[in-house]
Structure 1
Amino acid sequence: MDTEMRDDATGALDAVRALKLGDDIEGWLGALWGKSASKGGGTANLLLGHLLDTAAVAECMWDHYLAPWMRWRLDQITEGRGKQFFAWICGIHDCGKATPAFQSVDAAGAARVRSAGLTWRTASLKRARWRHDKAGGTLLNKVLGAEWGPDHTRWVWPLVAGHHGAFPDTGVLRSSQATGEHQGRGADWTKVQRALVDVYTRVLGYADVKEVRPVASLTKAEQLALSGLIIMADWIASDHRYFQGNDDLSEISLAKARQRATAGWHALGLRGGWGALPLPAADEDLVRQRFGDQARPFQEQLVSLVRDMPRPGLYVVEAPMGEGKTKAALAAAEVLAARFGFDGVFLAMPTQATCDPMYDEILEWVAEFDPVLREQVGLLHGKHRFNRRWKDIWDPSEGDPDDLYGSVDEDDEYGMGPTTMAEERRGPALWFLGKRRGLLSGFAVGTIDQLLYAATRTRHVMLRFAGLAGKVVIVDEVHAADVYMRQFLTEALRWLGQAGVPVILLSATLPPSQRQDLVDAYLSGTLGRSDVHEEVPEPVGYPCVTAASVKDGEPVVRSPEKQVASWRASLPVELSWLPDVSDDGAAVADAVREELVDGGVALVILNSVDRAQSVYLRLRKTIDGEVHLLHGRLCAAHRAERTTDCLAKLGPAAGPKRPRRMVVVATQLAEQSFDADADILITDLAPVDLLLQRIGRLHRHAGTTRPDRMHTPRVLITGVSRDGRKPTPRLLPASEAIYGAFPLLRAAALIRRAAGDVPAARTDETSGTWSVPADVPRLVAEAYGDTDICPDTWRAAEEEARQQAAAKDIKRGEAAQAFLLTARRDWGRPTLAGLHYGGSAGVGEEKDLDAVVRDGKRSVEVVIVRQAPGGYAALDGTRIGVHGEALDERVTEAVLGGTTRLPARFTQVAECELSPLPGWSAHPWLKYTPALVLDEAGAAELGGFYVRYDLELGFIVRRNGR
């Protein structure tokens, strides 16, 4: 049970006197400051006052934000006093400010402290920096060590020492700063530091510090989540609009702190997700109730499975494209949340483009519980501003998204960044828009990167993990993570497993070896070991579910024995070769024209932007119908508009809007989670799992009217040829650079079984077939297994490619180790001390994280603008000010619509040569973004290249001439 805090000593001065600490202590506590006057709204805030403010915020978080599972765990380790302990640990975070190193920072505050009788040698303080977070960990380790003993002290002190974003190792406790002038020499500093802890503890209702001692420990993952919640409480309590300065000790009390915290909490509009969710009845069809469609057999099976599991676990869901995996996962998430006390859902998608349509679905899903919950759904990717529904709900009318609501900068020892938002919020809590806070919102849809960031050894990683730890985590298209990204994915699974967070992984094409690795990672975390290997049985049928959990301390992995049929009957998909490895894609364009002579919809997926642009150019004037181009070098506005247009015409609700003849030429953007229906697919060769994903766009929606010759789904495989000089196929260089030769040769071998050998030129060779989705598990298993599938004449080239791929995978896996949250040798350590060894492993900026988790060269986003007479114009021609000023919302939207990510080759030159326009310096969305200024002809020189932006083709790079 949750024991209520005693209110018999809520006044700080009352506690000082009740403890008989004396006049000196009273004077010292009345001088120690926690927020300077400049950071406290004009009046300094006493340190004891800030601790109580933070504790009072923690109480609001307990009542209105914390997931039930966290409350249950804190109650477990404190024998029912979880709320009181949570408030205490959140508030004690800044005890390290009771040191000379901190008190000397502000001149006015320092003078007051000296006048009260606490002194220091200023010259000694200048020799080295001593942050108050480390000082707090040192102080708490000393006090708790004397009162609690080592068992619980060793996991609690790092929570304080790490509250500015990084956990130091135990060596910090023995450093010269920890034992010298910086920490405070002499009896007076020892007395006042202990008195601060004792008085604060007494005001919170404990008799003494010994009474605070837990009876059990949290796991390391639970500690990480708690650490993030401590930072959240601190940041909220640092907002001087609701926690104005108070330098009178007689006015400091828990009762007044609660009044301030309650007012601030409601003004900021903060809240969690579901709260306590009732368990749906066993016979309730959640899919029908939430989505309107009767549950399919596979969806029923997943929901039934999660009802029966003894504790939260990992669920690997494998089902054909279009089977309804996401709806099944959301229904299962509702059951898991109700059973095990989770407060929301994070849904991770493979790309930004796939996030937006899923965001719309999640908005409608949460509204089935309560329409107000729409305002708790975050969209977490860099282009969310261009999503109209997100903008309607979340977009602030003014203010800097990086400085909203009391974000204490990690390098700001004693204050907070500026806040500019209105005093009262109606609707979503914009506080969640600040850096690193998106996952803390009640529900979230974002790229998988958001999950991977929570597995990096970076500053404030605990905020990201705290957001995940209160939710059911769903990862869609999990197969899309390559070997490098999987290092972070498995690291995240280890931490989530140890925190007991349920995770649902979705895939249509998951290799068995990856399934095994993912299960082992989650179970390793759950059992607290790094070497768990529990053989995963081969699932029965397809679709299928594998469930992994722990029972009585032992791993349990099982899959339902009953096979369920796929909702969508398998179709024979005809495969044939379209040999072409040219940059211009001439053969591809010719084939499209030939195939669509009687009408139909063709989807052309090519592996490079240059090839897609070239094919589009060849088609746009020779096809009597619509031709669309989609790729990653389009500006934000064009990419969003074209994606929306294609889905409207080819999506499940297209109906009469479906054109008679249409071509979509795309890169990998259309490979997965692109809910469009094509009559015929022409695709560059890709690894089998990705090729099958592309085939998933074929004949996707029931009831679609098709031309007579398009009644059978067909795939033309291009990006491969034979030149007669060597036995192995000739691969498109761009494809080989992206995927490597080995998986492409394996894919070509499987296609060869159906369609015959790769011809040197296009022939009328009879097509072969794959039965999709029935053949999907077999094809993926063969492609990534050890079975010999390549012809004998390819064997030598295949073996060489295999060795190269294996060596590259080992190298990439090792490269990721430098950035993983936990070093392999440290996984078994029970506390967070030393987690951030080596600092942030070289990751200094948020923008660097994209490259870190995707093993890519860091790329730069720019806003493209044009020179215009007397000033500048946005990419769409909208005139802006002479210095680039965007004077109203419409103009700002036009300017931001020109946001484009440059190819990685331009990163260094862009960072050196490009900068925001002068008129953007005061604009929250533009002031950090460099401008690429094109001349009036729409071109520019950049790094020795000629670049331009074509309104149809997107960003174009030419090395020589125009």
Structure 2
Amino acid sequence: MKEWLDWPAKSAHPPENIEHPAIYHMLDVAAVAEQLLAESPWPSALKQAFIALAGLHDLGKFSETFRGMLREGAYQPFTHWELTEILLLTEDDWLAEWLGGTEDVREVLYAAVAGHHGRPPQTNLQRRELRKCLRAVGDGHEAARRLLEIFRQLWPEASLDSLDEEAATSFSWWLPGFCTAADWIGSNTTWFSPKELELEPEAYLKEARAIAQKAVKEAGLSGTTAREGELFDFALRPLQEACVSLTLPEGPALVVLEAETGVGKTEAALILVQRMILAGKGRGLFFALPTMATADAMFGRARRVMETMFTNPSLTLAHGRAGLSVPFRDLVNEGSRTGKSDDQSGVTSAEWLASDNRRALLADVGIGTIDQALLSVLPVRFQTLRHYGLASKILVVDEVHEMGEPYIAEELVALLQMHRAMGGSAILLTATLPLKLRARLLETYGGISESHAYPAITVAGGETVTQFDDDARPQKGPVMVERLSTMDEAVRYIAQSAAGGAACVWVRNAVDDAIAAVDALRAEGVQAHLLHARFALCDRKKLEQEVLDRVGRNGTGRKGFVLVATQIVEASLDLDFDVMVSDLAPIGSLIQRVGRLWRHMDVRPATQRPVPAPVLKVLSPDPAEVQDDRWLQKVLERGAWVYSLPDMWRTASVLFKAGQIRTPDGLRSLIEAVHGDEVENLPSVLDGAEAEGCGKAMAARHRALQNLATIEDGYRKGGCGADDTTYPTRLGDETRILALARQTDHGLVPWAQAEGVPSDELGRSELAALWALSEVSVRSKRLVGLDLPDQDRADIQEAQRYWPQWKKKAVTICPVHEIDGAICQGVCYRSDIGLLIYYSS
């Protein structure tokens, strides 16, 4: 055993001051890998091969240069994980006798194993470079050979014979993530403390296996099983009933659910998820939504259902501000207090999972933004960890129509292709998906559909359901559409409706226009409320809750309530209004907005409404009178620039001719009239706008194709390990984050911090959360020429004393004047108005 003393895996640290031997660390990781694959349906021989390869991930630590770096801080010409690939390639003849498979299969997987630090190995594999690498290994080569012999004895049945080169290429994107997950747990000293070199490998592995079982359970990765039985205690609606009996194909499946807002698509999808898991198509669920707000809302709903669907599942919220979600924090804290026992039931969230967005997708159930899933197809660091986490899940993507922009649509197609390649199944939910995009998405699973029926359930390569029983619940019927020509007309209409007791909403396209509308309504004596994305997060959350309390499903105090809001009410909040005005927007957005008009008819039938029928008033110029390309700007101000001008004109033309939005059977024709193959010709003065739009769409699509990881190339060639900002999940204007602050006797404190509470009485994590709740995101170009506070000010420097360097660069602290809310000339903030920018160059 003494031969292994010269090859440490970790430096000695207090209090143990023990160098954990490389052989022990690799056995730790292999033991964790065994636990992670325990419930996998793959053949035993293939599982053993992946377990052994995962254990061999650090074979390059048997090198003189790595040992010198650990013990003396010496320079490493090659990283240990790059040397892992070199050693595996050097010993390939021997490994072929053990693992089998073709040379190409093995080489692809060697590179995948070596890429467990978030990016593929980049070592030049030419003979001259190989010799340099082996010189760096030095005497470690003999130890590496000995370790391979030990691993063969421990996992003698390991075999790659079942993989062809195509399958190995697919696995090359999964295997690095699998190795990373196993390595991160196996390196965690909470579970695997440094050990003296005392036990023989087989005896040590036995101990490591017992620790691994506990570690994987406490990390939240021990897995779950789906329960049979009904998920819901209410009578199912027609779409949901159809999902109970839908025929699912063999193998990976893709199902597209198309139906109007408010008919229970989420519950229908969960019924399908349960059936898919029971049929062996996955072992968990990731629910991907378009925004953090929609993900937060779904998380609140999901916990109750997950307790019914699964046995003791782990649940995480996955997005950039997940730590600010009170329900999520409460769930994590609850698990931290009670721990995890074999007989514990219900949903849990392990601290290990919750502490890092990259790990969040490893949970049995993840609720998050689509961005977290899309990062698995971009060549960014640890993309493979996300892919590994998703591979075993049923992927549910909600509001797919919001992902029709060319850049994100290409990413979604790639995501589905990669998911299917690993045997994954998916469900897509949408209210307004154009047929062209539906066809592309179905094609990823070999499906096609010519049906124009709506609503519809389409199984790629399988059946299409278009006939549904009548819904017994009260229906609102067609929504009449009427045009308003001026803002004054809109103000008068809302003022009159509110005076009559109606709950009213005006949905505006731009924040500045929403603020102007509130000012105009308040000038008329209407106590209008305001909601948009330019509030500090703490204020926005309070405002959202106030609105839900008034006009949510069970809201009270609706009479005469008036809200002016931006697009954030389209999907993230479950609201119900009697009267609606909307700025002109593309047809899909208008359909989503109308979903908040006369929404809960079972709670508030027509007889209880203060107006006789649902009507959508649209603030828009006349599409029949277009003199120039400033047609839209004559009625809308900043809101005229938010959406594609051709889409806006076609929406106006089609919608005002139709005079109504008829659900559900009238939606498909409206959507296709704006986004289909045979759309109406634009007035000639708008042709330039159409050409410009086509050019931008082509550029966005081209950029997406350049940015996406090339799956067919395999991980070594197609991966990159770049920073997330290099390969964004979405295109858009550059933004700048402002952190609002108050001036107190104790210095600057976060805007969200309660008055009278000194910062030094708060823990660092509490203070960090308060700063995050005080943030406002603004388009950078709106701030050009403005004299924002100097970040070198002493009080600002003191407020940032615990901030990491990246945050100091990314976030600008902005003290808000106590009396007038001024931040600098041209910018002010008020809790009831939000961030107001009234000057920019």
TM over 0.5: yes
Q: How does 1:567-646 map to 2 (within 5 A)?
A: 569=475, 571-580=477-486, 585-620=487-522, 622-623=524-525, 627-646=528-547
Deviates more, 1:914-923 or 1:450-459: 914-923
Question: Which residue, out of 185, 194, 199, partners 2:150?
Answer: 199
Cα distance 1:273–1:599, how it changes in 2: closer, same or farther (>3 A)? farther
Partner residue in 1 for 2:564: 665
CA separation of 1:518 and 1:586: change in aligned 2, threshold 3 A: same
- Distance across 2 between alignment mates of 1:423 and 1:391: 14
**1:135/1:183 contact within 8 Å kept:** no
Which sits farther off after the overlay, 359-368 or 138-147?
A: 138-147
Matched ranges for 1:364-443 at <5 A: 364-369=304-309, 372-373=312-313, 376-395=314-333, 428-433=349-354, 434-443=356-365
Selected match of 2:392 from 470, 474, 477:
470
Deviation of 1:574 after TM superposition, in Å, equals 1.2
Letter in 2 for 1:312: P
Q: 1:894 offset after TM fit, Å?
A: 5.2
Counterpart check, 1:742 vs 2:742: no
Residues 1:650 and 2:551 aligned together: yes
Partner of 2:241: 300
Partner of 2:210: 262
Change beyond 3 A, Cα 1:38–1:520: same
Give the 3-state SS of the residue equivalent to 1:184 in structure 2: helix
For 1:156-177, what per-residue CA distance to the aligned partner results, in whole angstroms no more than 9, with x for missing partners? Answer: 21222211111246x6322754
Matching residue of 1:95: 59
Work out the CA distance in 2 between the residues paired with 1:192 and 1:470: 36
Q: What is the rounded CA distance, in whole Å, between the counterparts of 2:47 and 2:338 in structure 1?
A: 28
Q: Which shows bigger deviation, 486-495 or 212-221?
A: 212-221
**Aligned AA (1:101):** T
CA deviation after TM superposition for structure 1 residue 183, in Å = 4.8
Q: Partner residue of 2:8?
A: 33
Displacement after TM superposition at 1:179 (Å): 2.1
* CA gap 1:925/1:502 in 2 versus in 1, 3 angstroms: farther
Q: Which residue pairs with 1:418 in the alignment?
A: none
Q: 1:351 to 1:98 in 2, by over 3 A?
A: same
Asked whether 1:815 is paired with 2:703, we answer: yes
Counterpart residue type for residue 642 of structure 1: L
- Which residue is 1:759 aligned to? none
Identify the residue that residue 49 of structure 2 maps to in structure 1: 85
Deviation at 1:960, TM superposition (A): 7.0
Match of 1:559 among 452, 464, 488: 464
Deviation, structure 1 residue 423? 12
Distance verdict in 2 for CA 1:343–1:213, change over 3 Å: closer
| Aligned with residue 852 of structure 1, among 716, 728, 747 | 728
> What does residue 163 of structure 2 align with?
216
Q: Distance in 2 between matches of 1:497 and 1:389?
A: 33
Identity percentage over the alignment? Answer: 24
Question: Are residues 1:142 and 2:46 paired?
Answer: no
**Whole-angstrom CA distance in 1 between matches of 2:730 and 2:373:** 12
Aligned-partner SS, 1:206: coil
Q: Distance in 2 between matches of 1:381 and 1:877?
A: 23
Deviation at 1:385, TM superposition (A): 3.3
1:244-259 counterparts in 2 under 5 A?
244-248=193-197, 250-259=198-207
1:337 to 262, 265, 277: 277
Q: Which residue of 1 aligns with 2:99?
A: none
SS for the counterpart of 1:669 is helix
Q: CA offsets, 1:814-853, max 9 Å, x none?
A: 122332122xxxx434x422122xx44xx52x5x37x811
Cα distance in 2, alignment partners of residues 510 and 39 from structure 1: 58
In structure 2, C-alpha distance between the alignment counterparts of 1:471 and 1:925, rounded to whole Å: 36
Q: What amino acid does structure 2 have at the position aligned with 1:430?
A: E
User: How far off is 1:643 after superposition?
Assistant: 1.6
Match of 2:266 in 1: 326
Partner of 1:771 in structure 2?
662
Structure 1 portions without partners, runs of 5+: 1-12, 14-25, 111-121, 281-285, 398-420, 524-533, 549-555, 755-767
In structure 2, relative to structure 1, the CA distance for the partners of 1:567 and 1:889 (3 Å cut) is farther
The Cα of 1:797 is off from its aligned counterpart by 3.3
Give a deviation string over 1:124-151, Cα, whole Å, max 9, x none: x67xx31111111121122124441514
SS in 1 for 2:683: helix
Question: What is the alpha-carbon distance in structure 2 between the residues aligned to residue 741 and residue 140 of structure 1?
Answer: 57
Q: C-alpha distance in 2, partners of 1:424/1:364?
A: 20
**Structure 2: which amino acid aligns with 1:953?**
I
**d(CA) in 2 for partners of 1:445 and 1:743?**
32
Q: What are the Cα deviations for residues 875-932 of structure 1, in whole angstroms up to 9, with x where unaligned? A: 2573478887735988776554322223333789999964875355447999766532
CA-to-aligned-CA distance 1:75-95 (integer Å, 9 cap, x gap)? 1xxxx3344333212111000
Matching residue of 1:695: 594
Q: Tell me the distance in 2 between the aligned counterparts of 1:907 and 1:273.
A: 48
User: 1:39·1:240 contact (CA, 8 Å) conserved in 2?
Assistant: no
Matches of 1:33 and 1:435, distance apart in 2? 30
Q: Indicate yes or no: 2:806 matched with 1:956.
A: no
CA contact (8 A) 2:749 2:799 kept: no
Q: Which residue number in structure 1 is paired with residue 827 of structure 2?
A: 947
Question: Deviations 1:413-465 (Å, cap 9, x if unpaired)?
Answer: xxxxxxxx999768531111224111111111111111212221101101111
Question: Alignment partner of 2:482: what SS?
Answer: strand
Classify 1:356/1:215 alpha carbon distance in 2 versus 1 (closer, same or farther; 3 Å). Answer: closer
CA gap of 1:855–1:772, structure 2 versus 1, over 3 A, is same
8 A Cα contact 2:295 2:368, kept in partner: yes
Residue 356 of structure 1: aligned partner: 296
Q: Match of 2:106?
A: 153
Describe the SS at the equivalent of 1:683. Answer: strand
Report the 3-state secondary structure (helix = DSSP H, G, I; strand = E; otherwise coil) of the residue aligned with 2:613. Answer: coil
Distance 1:787 1:723 in 2: 19
Residue of structure 2 equivalent to 1:898: 774
Which residue does the alignment assign to 1:752? 656
1:934 maps to 2:816: yes
Query: Is structure 2 residue 604 aligned with structure 1 residue 704?
Result: yes
In 1, Cα distance between the equivalents of 2:799 and 2:375? 33
Superposition pairs of residues 271-310 of structure 1, within 5 angstroms: 271-272=220-221, 275-277=224-226, 280=228, 289-305=230-246, 307-310=247-250
In structure 2, what is the Cα distance between the partners aligned to 1:371 and 1:725?
61
Q: Distance in 2 between the 1:941 and 1:143 partners?
A: 65
Structure 2 distance, partners of 1:228, 1:911, is 43
1:543-593: CA deviations, max 9, x gaps?
A: 201111xxxxxxx3541364555666461211111123xxxx544323311
Question: Counterparts of 1:678 and 1:812 in 2: how far apart (Å)?
Answer: 37
Alignment gaps of 5+ in structure 2: 97-101, 342-347
SS at match of 1:774: coil
**Closer/same/farther in 2, CA of residues 456 and 877 from structure 1, 3 Å limit:** closer
Q: Go from structure 1 to structure 2 and tell me whether the alpha carbon gap of 1:705 and 1:676 turns closer, same or farther (over 3 Å shift).
A: same
Give the TM-score of the pair, scaled to structure 1. 0.78
Q: How much has 1:320 moved relative to structure 2?
A: 1.2
C-alpha separation in 1, matches of 2:202 and 2:172: 26
User: Per-residue CA shift, 1:772-824, capped at 9, x if unaligned?
Assistant: 2221011111111233535xxx53135433322221110111122332122xx
Which of 430, 450, 464 aligns to 2:372? It is 450
